[in-house]
Structure 1
Amino acid sequence: MKTFAFVALLALASATALPQTYDVESRRDVVQVVLDIVERASQWLQNRGLDPYVMDRVEGQYSFPIAGLFTARGSVTDLSVIGASNIVVNDIGFSLITQKLTFDVGIPEISASLGLAEGQVSILGRPPRSGLASGRLSVKNFRITGDVVVDVSGDSVAISDLVVAARLGGIESGIHVNIIGYDVSTYVNNFLSNTLPNLLQDNSDYVNRAIRRAILYVLDRIL
């Protein structure tokens, strides 16, 4: 009887332990798949020349079809944007019951530098008005939190019901702007550093929808 009881107890312990082990491994598998997706997204940005993004020089002009009504021309020199592919996973979790994955990812910093941007605009045939800009801009601690339903079947990954919420640590702007001889750098930097983050926060629903579409666009190309 004691032997039977011991065997029964051992069988019960095995029956309860094996699913738990499987659950742990399943969670690890899904989390690893998501980490691989983040790595592939980072590599996708790099392979397409988006990080770093470097533009030595570009010129362009536009004239309204009606002669003399509106003409614009401009050039950009030495533009670079760095840091977009440095995607950091702050936290990640997965529930086998709901098949829902929660995530907290971010980009510590995206920095941009502009050697020189020059432009001229002429309206109604009047003498052209000119402007120029140069300097640096840094976007700090851009983070995205949310959840998504993940279904991993063999080598395929299906994602649905993506919900995201984005927040911005801040913007540091050091741009020099001169328009028709007037230095408007203070106004521009104040707008970028203070007004713009507040506008993004006030319109967070629209921003989150736009970020969701961007994430799905990238995932559609790497999965």
Structure 2
Amino acid sequence: MEKGKPFVASLHEVENQLELSLRQAFESLEPKLQPPFSQDIPDPQEFIELSRAIVYAALCDSGSSKTHIKHLHALVTDGYAFFTSLLVGTVVELYGKLVDAAKVQLLWLTKEMVDVSSVGLEDLLVSLLRRIGSGDYGEQNVWLCFELVSLFLDKWDCLLEDAPLVLTSALYSFLRLLADHCRVSGIPKLENVKRLEIKFCVKMFKEQLNLSLKIGRTLSGYYKT
């Protein structure tokens, strides 16, 4: 992904406040996002602005994303809570405006937050699960479903230790989606998704029955939109 704007531009739409804050922070602090980084400890407001700038920069440019995340690791003092909240806001408010390459970057950043067990990780993963649409067999929706079920399988041990209840949320989502996906055949990418959904659900029931049985009225109501 070459460096570019992460959001689809619209001439007739007012810029979202979160989008505006991310872009302005990036434009203001772009020179500070390149090594060598300052050794000074930022004050709270500087940390907020740097976090916003890093989110925008990482969404823009996959080639520099590892550098940006290393920069974040050196700055963070809150368990990645604010950075994760920015990602949650991006999913909830701006996901539909992200260009395809930026969506790939968003999933990469999410995996990074899983690896560091960030504060707010469960909210981030649930917000992404909610972005998978039922009855939508379009390429982008199938891609998101594939990426998330793969994430839950690949990061199983980490999530089980640090955010076990999000596995229950994922089971609820993938059971619901699997019932929908099984009505359709002949779409190769969807067939692969179904295989992974089955693998995840079977793993949950076999290895984490107690977590699986937590699915109930409360969780069902939580997912109603």
TM range (shorter): under 0.3
Higher helix share: 2
Relative contact order, CA 8 A, sep 6+: which one is greater?
2
| Structure in which a larger fraction of residues adopt strand | 1
Task: State the TM-score, normalized to the length of structure 1.
Answer: 0.24
